[in-house]
Chains A and B, each alone.
Chain A
């Protein structure tokens, strides 16, 4: 299964970005192979509708679960319809590595 985590940078030391649609990068973690790759969130630059555009990006990358700080009201129904699970990370500083450890 592929898990996407919203990230502020493109290394595992980067922190989790609390924003979903406008984060800079997504860490995409494969729970089977334990491979991590970072993709640029091309939706972040949109003047509007960054959330839905980010969902399209992740769906195109066969992501089945997303970890982020918050999901907007435009994004939730789309993720639900695509059967992509949402995982809300509550406040506090987390690095991408912290999150990955939970899946290992």
Chain B
């Protein structure tokens, strides 16, 4: 296991999907790499990771993420129903009258309570169940992409995301590409960040989800700033909101056909445009100046 502390961690998130999280995180990653930082990008959008389509990199390792689920030996089971009572996730199906007991693997959270409940009879043992993988890719020495990838059909990506973030160390800066929304996988991602960059678009949908994200982050005590992507689209409501809530506007990216084209071709804006590379670097400096030192995560 590693004992090294990860570097300054920035999560790029948004309530609404499709606002440009991956666009921002891959370009920030690329910029920091150009400015000679040792940087790791963690793709935490484990249900559909796609950051690597922009960054490339050579696979250096794959780690399986598993959880322990119970297996019931019916020859030893006395049908007492204790394991069923202990399970708070409805993962044990039990009908006493019919002497029927089943483990519903899909619903199991791997807490182990049923195994404890069955200790007097020993009818439950545990097996490893695959949740997904954590894949490491190297761009150049010290510059890596970590990809969290949930197995199709697994109900929660939280454990895979947690393992991916944990395996990102030995870097000056860690950029986390968060999953959309404000549910558990998002919480798991931003929980380990020093600062959260929220990407929004100036539309009613973008506004509504931005507010939800800001409220959630404030509740968690996480500092955040906002990037307005596709600026010029929709209304100016978002800017009024930012000033009334005293949230920093980190960047304004216009709704521009040439930017959209670069992204849709799988390329990086900061690779093709030095001006934008400077802007991303300026934003990074602004964030670290304001939040880099004061934040005593460790």
Contacts and interface: CB of A to CB of B under 8 A. Distances in A.
Contacts of A82: 95, 98, 100
B90 interface: yes
Interface residues of A, number: 17
A56 B104 contact: no
Given A48-B155, A59-B95, A74-B106, A53 B100 contact: no
Nearest to B96: A60
A7 interface: no
Interface string A65-104: 0000000001000100110000000000000000000000
Q: Which 10 A-B pairs have the closest CB atoms?
A: A49-B90, A59-B95, A49-B107, A53-B90, A52-B93, A46-B90, A48-B107, A52-B90, A56-B95, A82-B98
Interface of B: 89-91, 93-98, 100, 102, 104, 106-107, 155
B98 A52 contact: no
Given A48-B89, A48-B90, A60 B104 contact: no
Interface of A: 43, 46-50, 52-53, 55-56, 59-60, 62, 74, 78, 81-82
A34 B219 CA distance: 55
Which of A46, A47, A48, A62 has the most chain B CB within a 10 Å cutoff? A48
A43 B90 CA distance: 9
A50 B93 CA distance: 11
B94 A56 contact: yes
Nearest to A73: B106
Contacts of A62: 97
Given A48-B90, A82-B98, 12 more contacts: A48-B107, A48-B155, A53-B90, A56-B95, A59-B100, A60-B95, A60-B96, A60-B97, A74-B104, A74-B106, A74-B107, A82-B100
